[in-house]
Amino acid sequence: MQSKKELFFFRITGTKLLLLELNTKRDIIMVTKSSVSKFFRRFLIVIGLGLLVFGYVWFYVPFSDEGVKAGVLNNVKHKGIIFKTYEGELIQSGFRPGQQGLQSNEFSFSVENEDLARRLMRMSGQHVKLHYKEYYGKLPWRGYSQFVVDSIFEVSPVEVQPEEELPPAVNIESI
């Protein structure tokens, strides 16, 4: 018994056609599997490249190039378990709309440059203006914050208001 030969046309590219002589249905399945696996391979490569580009933009391209925060430098510390990074806090005080009295806001930041971090450690308690970059995401070797300080604009000592003299305490029992 001689096997019946069948002719099939498969589209390879947009304009080229290939004529295949197949002896069995198994050959048809093999051709179909290889074209499907090529499609998925290409699809995975495109998705992988897209994720690499997204990751690069998310972690390494600054969201905000220019930013300055002013306030009293609270502390700068070197911390971390695996990745040791410099982290700091800046206390910003001022009036906020809709609230009574003086309010404070804490600005947490990271410092990549070790020399800059050491200089900031010596300025604790002083009024500083810090230039920073804001990133979309955080990286463990860059710091715990998405705000990364890269320079110091200005340093001035904190102005201490002289305290008013209080009247002497009155003993309530003697009255």
Question: What are 78's two structure tokens?
Answer: 């070197």
pLDDT at 105 over 70: yes
3-state secondary structure of 78: strand
Is 76 within 8 Å of 87 (Cβ atoms)?
yes
Cα separation, 6 vs 32, in Å, equals: 16
Rounded CA-CA distance 29/20 in Å is 13
Residues 143-161 have pLDDT tens digits of 888 899 999 988 887 776 6
CATH code for the structural domain at 62-156: 2.40.50.140
Distance CA(143)–CA(152), nearest Å, equals: 18
The share of the chain scoring above pLDDT 90, in percent, equals: 27
Over residues 5-39, the pLDDT tens digits come to 444 444 444 444 444 455 555 544 455 566 778 88
Return the pLDDT at 19.
Answer: 44
Extents of the domains making up the chain: 6-60, 62-156
**In contact, 129 and 151? CB cutoff 8 Å:** no
pLDDT tens, 65-97?
778 999 999 999 999 889 899 999 999 877 666
CA distance 99 to 96: 6
